[in-house]
Amino acid sequence: MDQPLLSFEALAKAALELPPQYVERRISNAVNGGEFAMDRLDDADAATVIRSINTSGNWVMLRFVEQLSAYSGLLDRLMDQIGPSISPSTGPGLTIRGFIFISSPGTLTPFHFDCEYNILFQIAGDKHFATYQPIPPWLPLDRHEAYYSAGNNMLPWNDAYEAEANIHQLRPGDALFIPYASPHWVKAGAEPSISLSITWQSAWSQSVGAAMQINPLLRRCGFPTGDLPAWPKAPKWRSLGCRVARKAGLL
């Protein structure tokens, strides 16, 4: 993708334009099973970190870049192109968001899952992107449920998972679809990397999220929770129950 908005310099400027709470600086040498360890942004601003990403030992995430009108336009144009392809597989895209990752060489993004659909566009540098099915043992049910109460999306790691990964080698111009909640870890190659993620929800993923949120309450009350239905079948009763429980202040 030859796109001036996605050059290192354009992203350094975008990092200063975004409200600071949407710009995160993280360490590049995290490990699977660990956390997204943060680095402070008070010794260098985000633009300086991005301009020196080759040596800074960091990766920077720009969250919700659609807040900047130029990037909102870019996401709209992308969604116009990919929307007809994704709708048959996920239903219409809702709550569309953009994330940009600028990574030092060798950055490891540790094992985690995201409760949204994602297409990652590799813009600069290479990435080794490892994915797993969104089922146990890689995604334990209690972790999936806990995400909707506590927001933690990190996952426990077992060294045996290394050989079980589906590895996708991404080079500039490649794109990868990551299904809802599919666990993954990512390793950047020998050059600084830029990736753009466009993420979205669907009516189905919102319904699944509601079921995950209400499951613990149902279990405490002695009700069955059942398996997660495969798309397009949605857990409609649990989803309805979740909306009622939210209104009643039970969740």
Question: Minimum distance between the CB of residue 216 and Fe ion, rounded to whole angstroms?
Answer: 24
Q: CA nearest 165: which of 183, 191, 140?
A: 183
Question: For residues 207 and 233, what is the distance between their CA atoms, to the nearest angstrom?
Answer: 10
Q: How far is the CB of 238 from Fe ion (least distance, A)?
A: 25
Helix axes 203-220, 236-247, angle to 10 degrees: 70
Instruction: Report the nearest approach of Fe ion to the CB of residue 152 (Å).
Output: 13
Structure tokens at 180: 């809802």
Judged by CB, which is closer to Fe ion: 25, or 238? 25
CA dihedral 133, 139, 145, 146 (to 10 degrees): -140
Q: Which lies closer to Fe ion via its Cβ, residue 66 or residue 114?
A: 114
CB of 79 to Fe ion, least distance (A): 19
The footprint of Fe ion on this chain (CB under 5 A) covers a number of residues equal to: 1
For residues 232 and 87, the answer to whether their CB atoms sit within 8 Å is no
* 3-state secondary structure at position 120: strand
- Between 125 and 183, name the residue whose CB sits nearer to Fe ion: 183
Question: How far is Cα 143 from Cα 136, in angstroms, rounded to an integer?
Answer: 10
Which of 28, 239 has the CB closer to Fe ion? 28
Find the part of the chain contacting Fe ion (CB under 5 A) among 24-32, 54-62, 106-114, 202-210.
106-114
Q: Which residue has the tokens 């354009």?
A: 10
Instruction: Scan residues 201-240 and list those touching Fe ion (CB under 5 A).
Output: none
- How many CA atoms lie less than 13 Å away from 38 in the CB half-sphere? 8
Binding window for Fe ion (CB under 5 A); candidates: 67-75, 85-93, 111-119, 162-170: 111-119
Asked if 114 touches Fe ion (CB under 5 A), the answer is yes
Closest residue to Fe ion, Cβ-based? 114
Smallest distance from Fe ion to CB 248, Å: 33
**Residue 112 Cβ vs Fe ion, minimum distance, rounded to whole Å:** 6
Q: How far apart are CA 177 and CA 116, in angstroms?
A: 11
**Residue span binding Fe ion (CB under 5 A) among the ranges 4-12, 71-79, 107-115, 237-245:** 107-115
The residues that touch Fe ion, with contacts defined as CB under 5 A, are 114
